[in-house]
A and B are shown apart, each in its own frame.
Chain A
Amino acid sequence: MIAAFLAVMALSLAVALWARRGAAHAAGPRAFFVAGGQLGAILFFFLSVGETYSIATMLGFPGGVYAGGEGFVVWFFGYILLAAPVLAVLGPWIWRAGNLYGAVTIPDFFAAHFGSRLLERVIAVGAMALLLPIGTMQFAGIRLVLGALAPAASMPLLLAGAGLVTFAYVALAGLRAAAFVAVLKDALMLGTILLVGALALVHWPALQGPAGPAPQVAAAPQVPVGLPFALSTIAVQALGFAMIPQNWAFLFAARGPQAIARAQAAAPLYMVMFPLLMAVAVFVRQIGLPLDKPDFVFLAAAQHLLPGWAMGVVMAAVVLAGLVILSSVCLAIAPLITRNLVPGLDGAAQQGWAKAITALFIALSAAGALAQVPLLATLNTVFYFGIVQTLPGFLAALWTGRAGARGVIAGIAVAAVFILAARFAGWSLGGINPGLIGLFLNALVLALCTWAWPRRDGQSVLALLR
């Protein structure tokens, strides 16, 4: 099992090395952070659908199903599904807007369009605050898998190994390595789900009835999932998906708007494996396989149905999913610092500092996962509500030249204060996601500021592109 796992990890490093050879002619921060904008529809597709088959999909989704929440399925499937049309519509415009200003990050665009260093810094700091807990979340998932793979080994050592592999991806070929390894990861993921799902169907218990409860474990779905919360969270996350910093990097890495539209049209079809994933969770409940945690449900089914060496490949696929997201988050955080918070660095210095920041980010994230800080889950939820708050500013930039930086900052500030107040005061809001209400308040404040203090010298992105 361990040999198969290590073989897949070695293969992923070889793939990253191969990606570097392909980029030998390109140099500079744009080549490093956004693959020089040279990814065709297929590579862009695999980067952008990383969220479809992530650690959360393999561990969290079947775990949520197992723990017994239909609302959880509606939320998880619904938001990934609707993120595709949102990105299909907004993605080509984000690409054109980024191209107009030579942007590599979200704050690059806002700074160039609104002419405000303060807005650039506000968005850069906010984006970093969002991304920091995501790194720890990936390591927390990786920790679960590595703990099952080698229970006797030292966990800090195992996480250090995972961190080193991530650093190698980033150092070898920047975003190109993440894109190429994503292809390997998705091929393994799809093969794994297909195999485990098919075997579960072959061994499906003869007596079929409603799946029983799961009394062996403490059922703890990751999100409280009443229908109003599920639907409003789908709206927040599907819209927010288009404003995630690494997704902007993916969009800028695409060769053009057509590659983005084509990839996003195919993305929902790519969710074809979700019924099998769900069936695997139902299968485990029906045969009464004992579990330590709901999140182990897919791995437990794989362990029950597959030979040992194949289990090593399954675990490697899940770990790769975490490493690909980790490397893309590293590549999103680094330019936020080297370009937006500490501007004035030349191309070589940006890349050098990016590698140092990547190493620091990986070490901090691994330490967070080792410490198992419970606050991190809360922080991650709060900041997910926050990431969508740059959307009103982007849409305003697209359509009108009258919106100014003050209005964008005021909108984001009002939304942030409202979301934090709702979160920490425990307001129920009728089950509606506070991020959605914050989004409406943000748009309202931006509209009022634009009406009261219109910008005189601005032009909309649409006008500039004509």
Chain B
Amino acid sequence: MARALLTLAVPVALVLLAVLAVPHGPGVFLGIGARIWALFACAPLTSAWLWWRQRGVLP
């Protein structure tokens, strides 16, 4: 159970960090703000994390 919670906690923390720690502001690139770019960056990081944790989540 601890392994499962840890696997979930890291992506959740990444999303919360992107949404709560990066200030809302005007578009910085392609008209998209820094907060949304930070959120987009969570996707490859989550993918890498889940790939690394694959064995940890298998029953």
Within 8 A of B (CB), among A402-420: none
Are the C-beta atoms of B15 and A78 separated by less than 8 Å? yes
A269 to B43, CA, bound (A): 6
Tell whether A73 is near chain B: CB-to-CB under 8 Å. Answer: yes
> Chain B 30-58 against A: per-residue CB contact (8 Å), 1 yes, 0 no?
11110111011011101101110110011
Tell whether A244 is near chain B: CB-to-CB under 8 Å. Answer: no
* Chain B at the A interface: SS class: helix
Instruction: Note all chain A residues with C-beta closer than 8 A to B58.
Output: 92, 257-258, 261
User: If the complex has contacts A85-B50, A258-B58, are A78 and B30 also in contact, measured as CB distance less than 8 A?
Assistant: no
Tell whether A458 is near chain B: CB-to-CB under 8 Å. Answer: no
Q: Closest CB of chain A to B40's CB: distance in Å?
A: 5
* Chain A at the B interface: SS class: helix
Tell whether B17 is near chain A: CB-to-CB under 8 Å. Answer: no
Q: Closest CB of chain A to B49's CB: distance in Å?
A: 8
Are the C-beta atoms of A74 and B19 separated by less than 8 Å? yes
Are the C-beta atoms of B59 and A211 separated by less than 8 Å? no
Q: Closest CB of chain B to A377's CB: distance in Å?
A: 25
List 23 interface pairs A-B (beta carbons < 8 Å), by A numbering.
A81-B11, A81-B42, A82-B12, A84-B47, A85-B8, A88-B7, A88-B50, A88-B53, A88-B54, A89-B7, A89-B8, A92-B57, A208-B31, A210-B26, A211-B27, A230-B19, A258-B54, A265-B53, A268-B11, A271-B40, A272-B44, A278-B36, A282-B27
Q: Closest CB of chain A to B25's CB: distance in Å?
A: 9
Are the C-beta atoms of B46 and A282 separated by less than 8 Å? no
A93 to B8, CA, bound (A): 15
Are the C-beta atoms of A74 and B50 separated by less than 8 Å? no
User: If the complex has contacts A70-B35, A274-B40, A279-B30, are A85 and B19 also in contact, measured as CB distance less than 8 A?
Assistant: no
Q: Indicate the member of A82, A262, A286 with the most B CB atoms within 10 Å.
A: A82
Within 8 A of A (CB), among B3-19: 4, 7-8, 11-12, 15-16, 19
Are the C-beta atoms of B54 and A77 separated by less than 8 Å? no
Q: When A and B form their complex, what is the total count of cross-chain residue pairs whose Cβ atoms lie within 8 Å? A: 118
Are the C-beta atoms of B44 and A269 separated by less than 8 Å? yes
A218 to B20, CA, bound (A): 29
Q: Which of B8, B44, B54 contacts A86 (CB 8 A)?
A: B8
Are the C-beta atoms of A70 and B24 separated by less than 8 Å? yes
Instruction: Note all chain A residues with C-beta closer than 8 A to B59.
Output: 92-93, 96, 257, 465
A355 to B57, CA, bound (A): 37
Are the C-beta atoms of A81 and B32 separated by less than 8 Å? no
19 more CB-based (< 8 A) A-B contacts, given A70-B24, A269-B47, A282-B30 = A82-B11, A84-B11, A84-B50, A85-B8, A85-B12, A85-B49, A89-B7, A208-B27, A258-B58, A265-B50, A265-B51, A266-B47, A269-B44, A272-B43, A282-B27, A282-B32, A285-B31, A286-B31, A465-B59
Q: Closest CB of chain A to B39's CB: distance in Å?
A: 6
Please name the 10 residue pairs, one residue from A and one from B, whose CB atoms are nearest each other, closest first.
A282-B31, A265-B50, A269-B47, A268-B46, A268-B47, A265-B51, A279-B30, A268-B43, A210-B26, A85-B11
Instruction: Note all chain A residues with C-beta closer than 8 A to B12.
Output: 82, 85
Tell whether A264 is near chain B: CB-to-CB under 8 Å. Answer: yes
Instruction: Note all chain A residues with C-beta closer than 8 A to B19.
Output: 74, 78, 227, 230-231
Are the C-beta atoms of A275 and B32 separated by less than 8 Å? yes
Tell whether A56 is near chain B: CB-to-CB under 8 Å. Answer: no
